Amino acid sequence: MRTLAVIPARYQSTRLPGKPLIEIAGIPLVIRVLRQARRCPLLDRVIVATDDERIAEVVREDGGEAMMTPPELPSGGDRVAWVVSRVEDSDMVLNIQVDDPLVGPKMIGSLIEALAQDKDCDLALAVKEIEKPSEVEDPNIVKVVFDQYFKALYFSRSVIPYPRVKGASYYKHIGPYAYRKGFLLEFASWKQTPLERSESLEMLRVLELGRKIKCVPVMEDTIEIDTPEDVKRLEAYLKKHGDDLKW
């Protein structure tokens, strides 16, 4: 089974313009994500999918592969599907977000292995138990509930499960997605579904149309870069824990 990782890197960002090129402790964000992905031995190929030649040039200077995609594509997922439709040598596809520089070989590898072992699922993603109470009610944190076989039951920005009885555990979705190639191309052709539009969560499109998602629990958390404050938070984290991450 051949594996391809695609890192969608759009230049424009409402809250952080030029985000992929913003330097974190002297290294552009897109290069941090690219280097982390290339450290995973289960990946055969990594492509940065971008709409901006400046990003492509930085990637190539670091020895990476970049592919120019149409600027009108509406989302990162569409950018990934566009690349995949033009790359023949892949059976499994990883969508790795350019704003997630802490995602590394361990997390990526766990998704690849989970999807390879569970033929019943078309998509695998990482879930992390929530440790901060403030995140449970934060609508920006996507909560997930899954069954005893780690198949997703629902994703929501609301509190799920509802705390009718104390002691419930809460999980959030973090990090990359791993798709079977055929399913990704099929998924990209589907129209949005009612629950997806309501919660603005494309994972719900998968569940509404009867397909299964594998949830892979991980111990590590991530720091997504969306604001200048996030940049400072990540730099502080790297200064404390070191810049040679093994995740």
Across residues 238-246, what is the average pLDDT?
A: 75
Going along 29-95, which residue ranges are E strands?
45-50, 65-68, 92-95
CA–chain centroid gap for 87, Å, is 20
Q: What residue spans define the domains of the chain?
A: 3-227+234-240
pLDDT of residue 107: 95
pLDDT for 72 equals 87
For 84-137, the pLDDT digits (tens) are 999 988 999 999 999 999 999 999 999 999 999 999 999 999 999 999 999 999
> 35: part of which helix (H) or strand (E)?
helix 29-38
pLDDT digit string (tens) for 144-202? Answer: 999 999 999 999 999 999 998 888 999 999 999 999 999 999 998 999 899 999 999 99
Asked whether the whole model's pTM tops 0.85, one would answer yes
What the block records as the tokens of 23 is 């330097």
Cβ contact 104:245 at 8 Å: yes
Out of 3.90.550.10, 3.30.572.10, 2.40.10.10, 3.40.800.10, the CATH code matching 3-227+234-240 is 3.90.550.10
d(CA 210, CA 226): 32
User: What is the pLDDT at residue 245?
Assistant: 58
Task: Give the pLDDT of residue 76.
Answer: 83
Peptide bond into 161 cis (omega under 30): yes
Report pLDDT for 77: 85
Q: What confidence score (pLDDT) does residue 53 get?
A: 96
Residue 244 confidence class, pLDDT cut points 50, 70, 90: low
Q: What average pLDDT does the structure give for the chain?
A: 93
pLDDT in tens, 198-217: 999 999 999 999 999 999 99
